[in-house]
Every structure is written in C-alpha cells, then in structure tokens.
Chain A
Amino acid sequence: MPTIASEMTTDNLESSSMASSPVNPNVSSRNRPPSSPLKQIPSDSLGPASDSLDSSNKKISADDMAFYYERLLPFRYVFQWLNHSPKPQKDFTMREFAYEHRSGAYQRYNSFESPEDFKSSVVRVNPTRFEVGAVYAVNPSERKTLPKSAMKPLEKELVFDIDLTDYDEIRTCCSKTQICTKCWKFITAATKVLDVALREDFGFEHMIWVFSGRRGAHCWVSDKRARSLDESKRRAIVEYLDILKNKGTKRLNLRRPLHPHIQRSLDILKPDFLTIIQEQDPWRDDEVAIQDLLSKIPNSSITDALKKEWTTKPHRSSLDKFQDISSMAQRLPKANDKKMVIEAEEDIILEVVYPRLDVEVSRQMIHLLKSPFCIHPGTGNVCVPFDANKEFNPMTSPNLRQIQGELLKYDEEHRGDDKKVANWDKTSLKPYTDLFTAFVKRLLASEVTGKRERDEQEPDLEF
C-alpha cells in the first residue's frame, strides 16, 4: 500500500488539487467536489513510470481512470456477481466497498443502493481502485449511527491470495515487483492445485480467478455455502490447503501414505516442477541452495556421492541435479532407503511449487480485496479474470493504455454504425468480460431464489 501512495504523489498537479480538497477517509464520498477541469493535461508529460511491464506504459492519470470508469469497467456484471440476483438485494446494498483515493487515503464502509449508484459514485470519486468487502447485517455507510456490535459481517466470498513475492527465495528470473512468463508458472501451478481442491474436495463450483494486476492472483469463491462460512471454518479450510504452514528450514516431512489431497497436488505439480526447475535453475551455482537441497536427502551415502559428483562437474543444471538424486536412489540396495529418498524428493517438489497462501486474507471476513476489472495503479494492467485451467499470460493481458486506444480506434472506424456494441466488446477486454459474464450467469442460475426473473430482457449495457 505505501508504495502505491508514494507513486501517486509524483503527479504534482494531482496532489495540489487534492490538497485543496483533502479527503477525510471518514467523510462520505458524496460530499466531494467534482474533479477540476484543470486536469486536462497530456499524461505523457508526467514522466516515465518507475516500474512497468511495458516501456510504453506511463503513469495512469486521473483522467485515464475517469475514462475507464465511465466507459469501460463492466459495473453491471460486477454488481450482479456480488448481488447474486439481477435486482438489488442485501447482498449488494449492505456490502462494504472501500476506495483508495489518489492521495493515498483509504476510505472504508461505502455502500450503494443500486448498480447505477455504484457506478456514479465510483465515477465521481474516481479512486485509484476500489475494493470489495463483506455483507453486513446493516448498511455499512450508516455504521456511525449504529452500535459497534451491529457491524458484524454476515457473508463474504471465500477468497485466496497468491503473491509471487512469497516465492522470492526460489525464483531467480525476477524479484520484488517484477514478473515474467517464467515465474508466472508458479502462479499457474498454484491456481491449478487450488482450483481442483476447491472443486473436488469442498464441492465449490462458482469461483473466479483474477489477475491482481502485477504479480499475483486472487480467487473468489461465490458459492452460497462458501459465503456463509464463519471465520473459524475459513481458517480450517485454509489450514487444510496450506500444507507448507510449518515449513521452516527443515524438510517438509509429510506423513506417508499421503493424504489424497496432497497426492493429487503432487501428481499435478510434478511436470510443472520439472519445467520450473529447468527455467529457474536455483541449484546450479548457488552453494547455499545446493547445501540446503542436500540436507533434505535422508541418506548420507547418497549425499556424499552427490557432493563428490557435483564438485567434479560444476555448473550442473538443477534439473540434472534433481535427476541425479533419483538415479542414485534407484541404485540403493535396500528398498526402504530408496523409498525414503523418493519421499524426500516428493517433499522437495511440494516445497518448491505448492501454493503459498496468505492465511489472514482468507480467514478474515472483514478483509477487503481489490475488485475484478480494477486497474492496478502501478502497472495500468486491468485486473482481468482468467480460467485456472487455461494458459494465462500476464504480460499480454489488457492494459488500460492499450484498451483506451482500441476503443477510440473502434469508434473512429465504426462512426455512424447503428449497431449497439458494448464498449468493452470493442477492445481486447472482450474475452475476459465474456468469461466473467458466463461465470456470473452460472452463479445467478444456481442461486435458489424461488423468484422468477421478471426482467428477462438483455440489460442495458450502457447504463
């Protein structure tokens, strides 16, 4: 969060206009003055971005964001997704939203009456991003007039957050905020494992994976059953999934036979592990890492032999080294020794590629998470939903600059057309909004409302 706040202030004009209308995080957003017309300044003049995926990508200005909120963000689908019905109900109207303002101020407990109210408020406030929280028993924006105890969260999507920074000790291709297609493979592996576990073990069906815009992914589980879990149950689920929780420097040491969930994860991860090891190559020359690897092999005859082997053949690749361990194990005379080494290798696979979870994000019901389709303020990437079982490339996913251009170009080329096309369908956002609408449609169909949808017309996309 602090990094974002400091990035924001590079925009001098913006921060001076903020100074004249300071945002009190507790003041209702409705009192804010409309944005100043002075901001019509070409964003190119604002200097290069400090970190970006794409060199042509510049800082995102307030105007860019206003344009995006006004014309491109599919509010109606976000609304339907959170509301679980076409008509506004408590799941939406009693839900908390938070704004992160351009000043860095964070404003919690906003709530909206309708999708129109939702959109117009976001457009007016023009935050750098907005986050989605829990559904409360009372209207969050009226919390001041209510006793503290009334603000109990009732429901919330079960969420998971995976971040590449948690893999820094093993990834060699990038560090900190940078990512590339190589290290994104950790996220792909993690999403596959979690997606299957949530479906097969817990029976959840309605989850959507969302690119966080920079170096991670979020998962939102929208099943009714998941939404109504209390915090202790959420914790239990995360602990079930989080097999690395007690991991120190020591070996994972899982009990055998492996629990079906772990066995299945291992089967899924094995091929990914080999690719990742090949590309990241963490054990080629790093003496400390090699020692660490050897210390996890519970057989001194093997480790001694390997030490010798690897000293005589320096720069042996990580993949070769890993396979050395396997082939040495095969030559062990005792079946039990062999088994132990193989098991240690399995533990290493899981240690390297098993999803690294943030427990608190999943456990706390009041925790807020950035909404899908927000723009990541640092990169300008759209937080697009993606399919856990298909390839997703964060390097080529839609960026605000790019889709702005696409929209303007389309409108230019189709001037005078009568056909009404939703703005996002004119850009490369289309496959992602299509994925999201299909997901939302399935979710709505599964909600047992008992009420028949009276309004079956195609909703007005340009509300």
Chain B
Amino acid sequence: MFRSTKRRTAGRKNFESSIISSSTPNAYLANVYNNSKLTFYTLPPVGEITLDEFETWAIDRIKILNEIESCAARNKSYKEIESIVAPMIQQTLPLNSTNVEKLNRERQKDYYSHFILRLCFSRSQELRTKFLKNETTLFKIRYNQLTNAEQQQFVKSLNLPWDFISLEEKEQLSTKLFNSISASLGYVLQLDDVQKRKYFEQEEFIKIPFEYVTDLLPQRSIFLQRGTAYVPKFQQLQLLVNEFSAKLEAALISTSHAFPSLDEDDRILPILTHLSSGYSLNYSQDSYGANENSSDINAITVGSKEIVDQFPLCGQHAMYGLRTLHHLKYTARQQFTLFLKGIGLSLEDALTFWSGEFKSVSIDKFNKEYKYNIRHSYGLEGGRINYKPWDCRTILSKPRPQKGEYHGCPYRDLSSDSLARKLREMGLEEKDVQQILEISDKGDYTNACSRVLEVKTNGHVQEQVTHPNLYFDRMRQYTKSQQTEA
C-alpha cells in the first residue's frame, strides 16, 4: 500500500529547483543576497558543510546574539549596543569584503549560521522570542552599517509594495506631510523648528499600505490617505525591521513544525541542543526543583540565614520585607514566589513557608486569599501555565515599588543610603560598596548585581547576572565548592 522508505531524491523537490539545480553554492548565495550585503534569509541554504563548520559558525553567531541580549538586559540604548556589537561582527561575522571569493565565504558563514540557529531556537516559544529579538537587532545594526547606496539597493531587492512619491505629490501634500512628521522629527532626530523645515525639504517619502507600518500609527507620526501610509525615509528602517521580524517569526514557527523530521539524524540533534542551552547566556531553567542544588531547600531551610545569604539582593530584600511586615503586596509575592520556586521550593513547602510567614493572617484568610495565587504560580490553577521565575528584564519592566512594597530591583529602587547599608550588611567592603553605588547610579543595575556576585565569590564567578536565580545558582555552586575544599 505505502512504500516503506521514501526515495531520497523526492524530498529535495520541495525546494525552488530553478535556483538550486542550475547553480553552484556560490552563485546560489549571490542570488539570495541579490548582490546586497543583507538578506531576509528567505530560502534555505544548499550545499554541504562539515560538522565542524556547522558548530563553529553557529557558536560565532550565538556569541554575537548573546552579547546583544545581555546589552538589552542591561537596558543599554540601541546606540550603545551598536558600539559594543559592531566590532564583534567585524571580527567573526563580517560581510564587507571587496574580494568576491572572500565575500562569498562571508556570506556562506552568515547564511548557514543563521539557519543553524533557526533550528536551535525554533523549539519553544521562549527560544523563538529570544532569537527573533536578537536577530532583528543584528539586522538593524548591519543595515545601519551599509552606505546609502547599498541601503537603497537592498530595499529595491526586497520587492516590497512601496513607492517613492513624486515631487509633485510631495508638493501637493506638503502641509499634511510636514504636520504628520513634525513631532517625530523632534523626538527621534532632535531637530528644532528651523531644522525640521530644512530636513523636510530634503526628505523623501515612501507610499505603502498602512498594514505594514501599524506600529507607527499610535503616535500618529505618519500621514494616512485612503489606506496608504506616507512614511518618511528616516522611519524606513522601522518598516524594514517589522518586515524582517514578521517573516522570521513565521519562518521560525514553520521550522518548529519541521523539527520532528530531524530526529533521525543523530549527528545534528545533540549539537543543536548543546547550542541552544550551553551557549545561551540568558539563564533559563529547564527543571525546577529537580537539580542537585535544591535537595536541601524546604519550608524550614528556605528562610535560614545560610540560604538567604545566597540570594541576590532582590531576594534578600523581599525576605526582609516579608519578615518585617509578615506580609508582602501582590507584585512582591509574585516575584518572590517564583524566585523561590526557581531555587527548588516545592509547592507544598511554599504553602507552608508562606502561611508561616504571614503571621498576621489567619489560616482561613490565607487559604482563601493567598493560596490560590501561589498554586497559580506553580501552574495548578487557571490557565495552568508553569510560570518561570522573573528575569532581571521582567523585574525592571514592572512598576516600581511604592512605599511598603518590596518587589523590583534594589539597585534601582533603593536610595543610595539604604543601598549602601544593605551592601554593608551583605559583608561588602567599603571600596566595593562605593564602586557598586557608582555602577547603580549609572543605571547599570544588572552590572551592579554582577559585581556583587563577583566580590562575594572572591572573583571566582564573573558572569553577567541577567536572572536572580542565576545569581543564586552560581553563589550556591561556589559555596558548595568552598565547603568541599575545606
């Protein structure tokens, strides 16, 4: 009835055979890049590479993406990210050789590494979002590195449904166009009124269906006429970025559907798993409460000095709030419950711990008003989502704590005085305290936290803290290793 094994060649027919069959890999690459230095990565790569290349190329790209991610986690502006990442790109993932042979090799590395990472990061929603965000930033950086002519050429190669408007049309709509973009010229390009006029005189506008630029609608920074958006050139990058990320998102989802068919290949899969976990800088826990670090965490030990000392400052601060008030407000409960869940506190222990700490609350009231929340955080109520502990970025994105609230990031939310006092209580020396205060003042909150980790481990752990649980784990590993040595 069915042929048990499919003929090998049959599968290949899915690809756009016209391009593949008639060209060598180099010509193919030149084709997908359309003589530009950028691409939307629409077609899968063809041609063979070695397993070694497979892994090293992917690692080189991951390093860049991780740097972008860690910059973003530290609240760096786009400009700062660009200045940090651009040299890395130049070193390991350049795309600007003038020699055709060399350029093709560069393209090949860029192209393959992108597709390998697509495989790595397509498997879960979390990984996809991460990859999407970082690749989009990478795309943006690279686009900005192109010359004007190259940008135009690239845009042309995309065949998007847009036109540059004629001078007459611009003349005709002049007032409306100027009034539409005037505000954004002010806050995006920081121009004053005279400069705005001048800029407008020279600015070119693109016409495109409004659906492509909906993220420019809420600020009303573009002119709309009968379903067509008039986008000034300086907003064009946003448009490309939207398009890039929309296409990539769709591609990632279809890649994830194709993933099961890779199961047969026992060479690739281990590399992929290794890549998406080991080299991932953003700390994400796959198994809660089941790692070797957590065996001794329970309702009684979780509040002990020994354990609390290993908390990052936000955890210690929440614990302090809880011990002082015998209660915590909603956001702090969320943040802290999930943090404790992340360090391995089981649901049962969590309920015991919280009801014990809420001394002013009767058991009845606790069961009625708080138990549900905690169970919810553990994925046992409502939508049954297994919530993950908040990373630093999430914590920093929540509303700041008001008086009597203990969530958030102490490096951002505490006054210099109380922060200094807290740091001294953690046993830091005065010079370190001052240094950390300085870092916090600059707004590098996660850097300040990383520095604390470094000092507390006597320089043994030099890792960027992007997640409170990462801090805890590293701290714990260090403490254990010290104990075994002793």
Interface string of B209-237 (1 = CB under 8 A from A): 01100110110100111111000000000
Residues in B with CB closer than 8 Å to A263 are 179
A259 in the interface, Cβ–Cβ < 8 Å? yes
Are B215 and A204 in contact (CB-based, < 8 A)? no
Given A232-B214, A237-B214, A240-B220: A260 and B180 interface contact (C-beta under 8 Å): yes
Q: Please name the residue on chain B nearest to A239 by beta carbon.
A: B218
Are the C-beta atoms of A236 and B220 separated by less than 8 Å? no
B 242-283 to A, binary, CB cutoff 8 A, 1 in contact else 0: 000000000000000000000000000000000000000000
Across-interface contacts of A257 in B (CB, < 8 A): 178-179, 182
Of A200, A240, A259, which is within 8 A of B225 by CB?
A200
Write out the residue numbers on chain B whose beta carbons fall within 8 Å of the beta carbon of A201.
Answer: 224-227
**Contact residues in A for B178 (Cβ distance below 8 Å):** 257
Q: Contact residue range for chain A? A: 20 to 34
A203-B227, A243-B220, A260-B176 given. 15 additional CB < 8 A pairs? Answer: A200-B226, A201-B225, A201-B226, A202-B226, A203-B226, A225-B227, A237-B217, A239-B217, A240-B217, A240-B218, A255-B186, A257-B178, A257-B179, A258-B179, A259-B220
A229 to B178, CA, bound (A): 28
Answer yes or no: B183 CB below 8 A from chain A CBs: yes
CB neighbours of B220 from chain A (8 A): 240, 243, 259, 261-262
> Which chain A positions have C-beta within 8 A of B226?
199-203
Is residue A442 contacting chain B, with contact meaning CB distance below 8 A?
A: no
Q: Are B214 and A255 in contact (CB under 8 A)?
A: no
A-B contact count (CB 8 A): 55
CA distance A261 to B211 in the complex (A): 18
Q: Which of B186, B210, B220 has the most CB of A within 10 A?
A: B220
Of the candidates B182, B215, B227, which one forms a contact with A255 in the assembled complex, judged by CB atoms under 8 Å apart? B182
**Considering the chains assembled together, what is the distance between the CA atoms of A225 and B217 in angstroms?**
17
Nearest Cβ on chain A to B78's Cβ, whole angstroms: 22
DSSP class of A's interface residues: helix, strand, loop or mixed? helix
List, in ascending order, chain A residues with CB within 8 A of B182's CB.
Answer: 255, 257
**Closest B residue by C-beta to A245:** B218
CA distance A106 to B164 in the complex (A): 52
A224-274: which have CB < 8 Å to B? 225, 229, 232-233, 236-237, 239-240, 243, 255, 257-263
Q: Give A170-218 interface residues, CB cut-off 8 Å to B.
A: 199-204
B467 CB → nearest A CB, Å:
28
A237 neighbours in B (Cβ, 8 Å): 214, 217
A144–B266 Cα distance when bound, in Å, is: 39
9 shortest interchain CB distances as A-B pairs? A203-B227, A239-B218, A236-B214, A203-B226, A201-B224, A240-B217, A236-B217, A257-B179, A255-B183
List A contacts of B228 (CB < 8 A).
203
Shortest Cβ distance from residue B75 to the other chain A in the assembled complex, whole angstroms: 24
CA distance A261 to B214 in the complex (A): 16
Instruction: Give every chain B residue within 8 A of A232 (Cβ-Cβ).
Output: 214
Contact check: which of B210, B224, B227 meets A261 at CB < 8 Å? B224
B142-159 with Cβ < 8 A to chain A = none
Chain B residues with CB below 8 A from A255, complex form: 182-183, 186
Closest to A223 in B: B227
**A243 to B178 Cα, complex, angstroms:** 19
Cβ-defined contact, A236 with B227, below 8 A: no
Task: Report if A260-B214 is in contact (Cβ < 8 Å); known contacts: A200-B225, A200-B226.
Answer: no
Chain B residues within an 8 Å CB radius of A225: 211, 227
Nearest chain B CB to A387 CB, angstrom units:
20
- Residues from chain B with Cβ under 8 Å of A258 in the complex: 179
B176/A233 in contact, CB under 8 A: no
B216 to A, closest residue via Cβ: A236
A residues within 8 A CB of B224? Answer: 200-202, 240, 261
9 examples of A-B residue contacts, CB within 8 angstroms? A200-B225, A202-B226, A232-B214, A237-B214, A255-B183, A259-B220, A260-B180, A261-B220, A261-B224
| B223 contact set on A, CB distance < 8 A | 260
Complex Cα gap A232–B226 (Å): 20
Residue on B nearest A204 in the bound complex, by CB: B227
- Least CB distance from A230 to B in Å reads 9
Which B residues between 176 and 216 are near A, CB-CB below 8 angstroms?
176, 178-180, 182-183, 186, 210-211, 214-215
Min CB distance, A261 to chain B, in Å?
A: 6
B235 to chain A, nearest CB (A): 14
